[in-house]
């Protein structure tokens, strides 16, 4: 736990804080594809990812989704923090992208530690920083990149999160995550394939080039 955080955030965490996290946090295992948060949910705990990955998506209220970002080991969900503290409802959906282990931290503790531990404050603000950057980068992709580039970036991101260049995924799933259509994805994947950037088979995509 401690090593995990210290590696991710590059600074030490007080022993007492780690003890409190272990004591007050609720350890949970979440199986792949389990829906963890839905739009409109009221949250009382903040998730901290120990192992695995969580996929966070926006939704327009009509079953149209869009992948925002992933939470990986050591990540926390800033959306949840503000939701919890402000007692507001979730604006996003989250589901496990892999079998995932998390610690759920009660919102009261989260606030208490903000006052008691300097390194917790740093952690919280780092989390916000990471999240705002992810959102900015999502906007950047939408505004400045075409669908082909977005598909390619999507595949590379996914390969990084899953720690393997070989992805078990269908064109339909990609289309859904990027809010476009399966036919468009197939068309552009063919281009990527001809350009030697990926290799495809039924239910399978291999990312060949990570050099951006």
Q: Rounded CA gap, 103 and 73, in Å?
A: 11
**Per CB under 7 A, does 182 bind DNA?**
yes
Residue given tokens 């402000």 in the structure block: 86
The region of 43-51, 119-127, 185-193, 198-206 touching a copy of itself under the rule CB under 8 A is 119-127
Does 107 engage in binding with a copy of itself (CB under 8 A)?
no
Sheet holding 204-207, edge to edge: 166-167, 204-207, 198-201
Contact (CB, 8 A) for 16 and 56? no
Q: How crowded is residue 211: how many other Cβ atoms within 10 Å of its Cβ?
A: 5
**Length reported for the chain:** 212
- For the bound state, the minimum distance from the C-beta of residue 184 to DNA, rounded and expressed in Å, comes to 4
Quick check: 182 and 173 in contact, CB under 8 A? no
Of 26 and 136, which CB lies nearer to a copy of itself in the complex structure? 136
Tokens of 204: 């399978």
Asked whether position 204 contacts DNA by CB under 7 A, the answer is: yes
Residue 200 near which of a copy of itself, DNA, none (CB within 5-8 Å, type-dependent):
DNA
Question: Please, which of residues 48-87 interact with a copy of itself by CB under 8 A?
Answer: 58, 60, 64, 66, 68, 78-79, 81-83, 85-86
Print the binding letters for residues 119-158 with DNA: x by CB under 7 A, - otherwise. ---------------------------xxx----------
Return d(Cα 157, Cα 116) in angstroms, integer. Answer: 36
Is 64 one of the binding residues for DNA (CB under 7 A)?
Answer: no
Greatest alpha-carbon pair distance for the chain in Å reads 56
User: With respect to DNA, which residue has the nearer C-beta, 58 or 106?
Assistant: 58
Name the site residues for DNA (rule: CB under 7 A).
146-148, 170-172, 180-184, 186-190, 200, 202-204
């Amino acid at each position: 736990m401690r090593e995990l955080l210290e590696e991710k955030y590059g600074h030490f965490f007080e022993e007492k804080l780690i003890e409190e996290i272990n004591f007050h946090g609720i350890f949970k295992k979440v199986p792949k594809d389990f829906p963890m948060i839905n739009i409109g949910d009221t949250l009382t705990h903040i998730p901290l990812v120990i192992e695995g990955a969580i996929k966070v998506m926006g939704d327009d209220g009509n079953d149209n989704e869009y992948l925002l970002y992933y939470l990986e080991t050591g990540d926390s969900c800033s959306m949840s923090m503000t939701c919890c503290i402000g007692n507001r409802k979730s604006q996003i959906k989250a589901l496990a992208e892999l079998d995932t282990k998390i610690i759920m931290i009660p919102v009261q503790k989260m606030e208490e530690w903000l006052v008691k531990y300097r390194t917790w404050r740093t952690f919280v603000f780092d989390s916000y920083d990471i999240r705002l950057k992810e959102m900015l980068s999502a906007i950047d992709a939408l505004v400045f990149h075409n669908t082909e580039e977005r598909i390619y970036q999507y595949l590379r991101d996914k390969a990084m999160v899953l720690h393997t260049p070989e992805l078990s995924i269908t064109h339909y799933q990609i289309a859904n995550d990027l809010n476009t259509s399966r036919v468009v994805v197939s068309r552009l994947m063919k281009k990527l394939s001809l350009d030697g950037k990926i290799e495809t088979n039924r239910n399978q995509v291999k990312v060949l080039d990570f050099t951006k």
